[in-house]
């Protein structure tokens, strides 16, 4: 079965796609483990949330860019495009989405005071964990880079 998987996925677009998706999936698993250790609580919603350590967006896009570089060459146009979009996504995760999360936290406090701690009266609490700290982004990127190299070595074998 593994050999069939290797034949289908190795050295083509499927390898790039599966590498990025698996980097995101395993990143979410790592995020769940870190959250569980830190809080000593199990919360399966972590699998579907944004924010937290590591940034799975960063892991996915850097894994994708790295595998494109491995397959097509680090001096190729497609690698440059992939890396460019990856950097934009990482900047957005640490910048715009993080600022939106801070704004949501501030609005939640204001709404709690205005509505006497009854946020359900105004539609519920806004989601605060949207973005990442720069450290979470860089850890996610480092994970994506290592994941892509290991994935390629394992797939190509």
Per-residue pLDDT tens digits for 10-58: 777 888 999 999 999 999 999 898 888 888 888 777 777 766 778 888 9
Domain assignment present for residue 113? The answer is: no
Predicted local distance difference test score (pLDDT) of residue 92: 80
Mean pLDDT, the chain, rounded, equals 81
Predicted local distance difference test score (pLDDT) of residue 2: 65
For residue 25, give its domain range.
2-95+131-156
Domain assignment present for residue 56? The answer is: yes
Summarize pLDDT for 19-32 with one digit per residue, the tens: 999 999 999 999 89
Predicted confidence band of residue 116 (pLDDT cuts 50, 70, 90): low
Domain assignment present for residue 19? The answer is: yes
Whole-angstrom CA distances from 11 to 29, 69, 75, 138 are 26, 11, 17, 27
| Count of the separate structural domains present in the chain | 1
Domain assignment present for residue 110? The answer is: no
Domain assignment present for residue 125? The answer is: no
Domain assignment present for residue 103? The answer is: no
Whole-angstrom CA distances from 97 to 10, 20, 31, 47, 89 are 35, 21, 18, 18, 10
Domain assignment present for residue 15? The answer is: yes
Domain assignment present for residue 39? The answer is: yes
Query: What angle is formed at CA 102 by the lines to CA 109 and CA 26, rounded to 5 degrees?
Result: 120
């Amino acid at each position: 079965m593994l050999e069939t998987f290797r034949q289908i996925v190795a050295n083509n677009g499927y390898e790039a796609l599966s590498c990025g998706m698996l980097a995101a999936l395993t990143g979410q698993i790592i995020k769940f483990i870190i959250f569980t250790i830190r809080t000593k609580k199990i919360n399966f919603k972590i699998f579907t949330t944004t924010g937290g350590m590591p940034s799975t967006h960063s892991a996915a896009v850097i894994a994708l860019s790295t595998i494109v570089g491995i397959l097509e060459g680090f001096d190729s146009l497609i690698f440059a495009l992939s890396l460019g979009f990856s950097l934009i996504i990482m900047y957005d995760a640490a910048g715009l989405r993080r600022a939106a999360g801070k704004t949501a936290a501030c609005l939640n406090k204001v709404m709690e005071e205005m509505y006497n701690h009854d946020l359900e009266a105004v539609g519920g609490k806004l989601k605060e964990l949207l973005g990442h700290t720069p450290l979470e982004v860089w850890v996610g990127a480092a994970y994506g880079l290592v994941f892509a190299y290991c994935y390629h070595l394992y797939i190509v074998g």
